[in-house]
């Protein structure tokens, strides 16, 4: 069958997502999916169209042992139920959890375009550099702008640059933070709100690209940076490190 014909691809995707494509035809379709971006796009379109229909179904809470079994499988060690810890605060990630760090995910296109520009500006890397998009966490203009950070492959050089200059009050500066998976964020130094900043290499954590940093964030601070060693002003940009 010619799966390349758009109307056929769309019709098949519809039946696949609706669930009525079954048996060998369903298996064939699934086998074809990974190699067919057009088919994948058609499937995503139908998922977006049809899945919301399931919102009409009254929810049915699963029995509690389902969650218990999930926990057992994912974290086989003595696992205190993390359901109880949902509102926990003893964790350094707390402030950052409130942020829209996930929004960084939505900036892949920009990342590709801007990544190259930043790459050229960084010291010649041995390993490929890691580019992180820090998405605006605020409302309005701040929410749509973003910062790009590029870390050299060896984790010893970090360059930041805003996509568009960030407007700040005169008596405020931007500070860059490394957010570890556990514990308090660590300051990497002040960064320019309008142009390129090359961070002093002695400020970078040795484990930056080796699991020591889960995300980067930018906060607004008084001149000279946070007086307390942790972010005091609002965090205006954040993005997670995807290695």
Partner 1 sequence: MKTDLQDWPERSRELSQLLARAGLGDRAAFARFYEMTSGHLYAVVLRIQRDRASAEDLLQEVYVSVWKAAASFDAARSQPLTWLTSIARNRAIDSLRRQQAQPQTDSLSRDDEDERPDPAEALADEAPGPLALLSRASDARELSSCMERLSAAQRQSVALAFFDGLSHAEVAEQLREPLGTVKSWVRRALMSLKSCLERGVLRDADHPHSEA
Could you please report the per-residue DSSP string of 209-220? IIII-SEEEEEE
Query: What residues numbered 140-179 form the site for partner 1, per CB under 8 A?
Result: none
Among 4, 8, 81, 183, binds partner 1 (CB under 8 A): 81
Q: Considering the complex, state which of residue 114 and residue 193 has its C-beta at the smaller distance from partner 1.
A: 114
CB of 12 to partner 1, least distance (A): 10
Q: Considering the complex, state which of residue 97 and residue 171 has its C-beta at the smaller distance from partner 1.
A: 97
Q: Is 90 in the site for partner 1 (CB under 8 A)?
A: no
CB of 11 to partner 1, least distance (A): 6
Q: Is 14 in the site for partner 1 (CB under 8 A)?
A: yes
CB of 38 to partner 1, least distance (A): 15
Q: Considering the complex, state which of residue 27 and residue 201 has its C-beta at the smaller distance from partner 1.
A: 27
Q: Considering the complex, state which of residue 44 and residue 203 has its C-beta at the smaller distance from partner 1.
A: 44
Query: What residues numbered 194-233 form the site for partner 1, per CB under 8 A?
Result: 214-215
CB of 162 to partner 1, least distance (A): 20
Could you please report the per-residue DSSP string of the chain? --TTSHHHHHHHHHHHHHT---HHHHHHHHHHGGG-HHHHHHHHHHHHHHGGGGGGSPP-PPPHHHHHHHHHHH--S----TTGGGG---STTHHHHTS-GGGGGGGHHHHHHHHHHHHHHS---SSPPEEEEEEE-SSHHHHH-EEEEEE-TTS--EEEEESSPPP--TT-EEEEEEE-SSS--EEEEEE-SSS-EEEPGGGS-TTIIIII-SEEEEEEESTTS-SSSS--S-EEEEEE---
Interface pattern 47-76 for partner 1 (x via CB under 8 A): xxxxxxxxxxxxxxxxx-xxx-xx--xxx-
Residues that bind partner 1 (CB under 8 A): 11, 14-15, 17-20, 22-23, 26, 44, 46-63, 65-67, 69-70, 73-75, 81-83, 85-86, 88, 93, 97, 100-103, 105-108, 139, 181, 214-215, 240, 242
């Amino acid at each position: 069958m010619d799966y390349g014909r758009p109307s056929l691809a769309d019709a098949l995707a519809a039946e696949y997502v609706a669930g009525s494509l079954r048996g060998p035809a369903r298996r064939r379709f699934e086998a074809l999916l990974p190699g067919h971006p057009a088919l994948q796009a058609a499937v995503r379109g139908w998922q977006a169209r049809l899945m919301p229909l399931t919102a009409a179904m009254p929810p049915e809470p699963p029995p509690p042992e389902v969650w218990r079994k999930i926990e057992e499988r994912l974290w086989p060690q003595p696992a205190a139920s993390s359901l109880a810890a949902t509102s926990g605060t003893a964790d350094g990630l707390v402030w950052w959890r409130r942020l829209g760090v996930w929004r960084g995910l939505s900036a892949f296109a920009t990342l590709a375009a801007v990544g190259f520009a930043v790459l050229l500006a960084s010291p010649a890397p041995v390993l490929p550099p890691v580019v992180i998009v820090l998405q605006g966490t605020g409302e309005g203009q701040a929410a749509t702008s973003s910062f790009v950070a590029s870390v050299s492959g060896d984790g010893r050089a970090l360059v930041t640059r805003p996509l568009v200059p960030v407007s700040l009050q005169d008596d405020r500066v931007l500070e860059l933070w490394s957010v570890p998976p556990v514990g308090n964020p660590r300051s990497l130094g002040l960064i320019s709100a309008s142009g390129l900043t090359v961070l002093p290499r002695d400020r970078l954590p040795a484990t930056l690209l080796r699991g020591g940093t889960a995300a980067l964030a930018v906060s607004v601070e008084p001149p000279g940076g946070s007086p307390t060693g942790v972010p005091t002003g609002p965090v205006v940009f954040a993005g997670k490190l995807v290695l």
